[in-house]
Amino acid sequence: MSYDDRMSPDSPTDSSNSPVDGLEFDDVLQRAYRHVLSWRRSVADRPVFPAVTSDELRDLLTDGGPPEAGSDAISTLDVLARAGELGSTASAGPRYFGYVIGSSLPVAVGADWLVTAWDQNATLYSCGPAVSVIEEVCADWLVKMLGLPPHTSAGFTTGTQMAAFTCLAAARHHLLAQQGWDAETDGLWGAPRIPVTVGEQRHASIDRALRYLGMGTRVHEVGCDANGAIDLSALRAELDRTDRPPIVCVQAGNINTGAVDPLREVCELVHDRGGWVHVDGAIGLWALVSDKHRRLLDGAHLADSWTTDAHKWLNVPFDCGIAFVAHPDAHRAAVGVTAAYLEASDHRDQINTIPDWSRRARSVPVYAVLRTLGRAGVAGLIDRNIEHAHHIATRLSAEPGIEIVNKVVLNQVLVRFTAPGRDDDELTREIIGRVQDDGTCWLSGSVFDNRAVMRISICSAYTTTEDIQRSAEAIIGCSRDATAGRARTPRTG
């Protein structure tokens, strides 16, 4: 049967030559640019959390149902811009302290536009040499700036979650291969069990990565000190319970307190037993670039794998996490791939460094920030935000009824509110709600040591001392209003 015979007789041939509407870039990108500037110029002065309801957003976007006929591209951008302006948090602004969410530097946003416009599939060198080489240079700079072992390999993932998956896949491969087990071919059916030991205050993404890897979440938990760093003697006791080489997950930057585990001592203990140390440095790995704060992570370079997020403290737009592995062969064996149709090269084929197949060139904004700020500039950003954390902690703790719960080491501050005759947990939650409604700054709550806390995380390159002062006064005002029983003001917007 010829190709023509296989075509159905009524297959449309005449429409295949007419262009799709809306292929002109100029007007559309000019419009997008105007919307972008309007958003970014307003972001410092807006209420940090929007006042819109989800119904209002839905009404704006659905407009009666799935469109049968199309609309012009400009009006589509206008609708999106309106929804975005009404319903986005000002997390790119200077007074967003919720979760751990960085802003994005202008050069990173600009570089991200280039990534979108180039529209390269960052999977193989043969799909686009430029983004492969940018990623290679970026990985090399990062390894040097962070002081990791020179042979360390790196992969750029959506975030630390998938970076942890990548690193722990490499760990699983490495430890099982040493025991003669091929996890990639045989899976884990009948494999020797790898003991996995974690701090009790690890981030939940570690458990999720272990789940995805078939290693399960029945891990050995080790207790922590008062600031949430792993207790070394408890770790030693736990490791003495088994003679199998373990995976031990520690962290540089506790999600609540910012505490850093004693990395040098952990690495020595674990390596004595032939194990693998993984460092979750989503927040704190960046302190390695700082002359002032590097000592917090003493011994970090001794570990076997590390993760961090560029979309947090490096201030690149979402999304970008990074997996670093000191055993490049294990890294590649765990996540790499070959297929007949893939043109492999002697260059960096990005597909061999992360679990994704096709993906955007998310290392490009990272390169842009590293080149523009330099190591010293990145260190300056880290140092400044840590200073801000101390500043806000000092100001808040001068107020009666406000207590700083953690020892501030990085950019995380935990706050607790007390008043005679009030339940502290309930009061703390009420004040978090009042601050969120007030709109000067935004932060979220957490539970630490079984008590409700307000959690402040400072990761923005835009935050100034004045923003810290304004935010501290807003928090203190809400605290005074709450303890005096004054009515809550409705959310501004």
Applying CB under 6 A, which residues contact ligand PLP? 100, 159-161, 203, 205, 251, 253, 255, 280, 282-283, 309, 321
Looking at the DSSP assignment, which residues form a beta bridge with residue 325? 153, 305
Strand 247-251 versus strand 305-309 pairing type = unpaired
Residue 251 or 315 with smaller CB distance to ligand PLP: 251
* Tokens 């009790």, residue located: 200
* Residue 471 to residue 372: CA distance in whole angstroms: 29
- Over the Cα atoms of the chain, what is R_g? 25
Residue 35 main-chain phi, psi, to 5 deg = -65, -40
Residue 257 or 428 with smaller CB distance to ligand PLP: 257
| Coil/strand/helix, residue 369 | helix
CB of 139 to ligand PLP, least distance (A): 18
CB of 255 to ligand PLP, least distance (A): 5
Q: Is the peptide bond before 383 cis (omega within 30 degrees of 0)?
A: no
**Closest CB to ligand PLP belongs to which residue?**
159
> 133, 142, 112: which is closest to 373 by C-alpha?
142
Residue 286 or 367 with smaller CB distance to ligand PLP: 286
CB of 307 to ligand PLP, least distance (A): 7
What are the strands, taking DSSP E only, across 86-184? 153-157
| Coil/strand/helix, residue 455 | strand
Residue 258 or 275 with smaller CB distance to ligand PLP: 258
Residue 239 or 322 with smaller CB distance to ligand PLP: 322
CB of 282 to ligand PLP, least distance (A): 3
> 118, 30, 163: which is closest to 360 by C-alpha?
118
* Residue 188 to residue 185: CA distance in whole angstroms: 9
- Cα separation of the two ends of the chain: 67
Residue 166 or 479 with smaller CB distance to ligand PLP: 166
CB of 53 to ligand PLP, least distance (A): 27
Residue 141 main-chain phi, psi, to 5 deg = -60, -45
* Residue 353 to residue 328: CA distance in whole angstroms: 9
CB of 101 to ligand PLP, least distance (A): 9
Residue 100 or 169 with smaller CB distance to ligand PLP: 100
CB of 285 to ligand PLP, least distance (A): 10
Residue 132 or 205 with smaller CB distance to ligand PLP: 205
Looking at the DSSP assignment, which residues form a beta bridge with residue 453? 446
CB of 427 to ligand PLP, least distance (A): 27
Q: Enumerate the H helices of 223-315 as residue ranges.
A: 232-240, 263-272
What are the strands, taking DSSP E only, across 214-340? 220-222, 247-251, 276-280, 305-309, 321-325
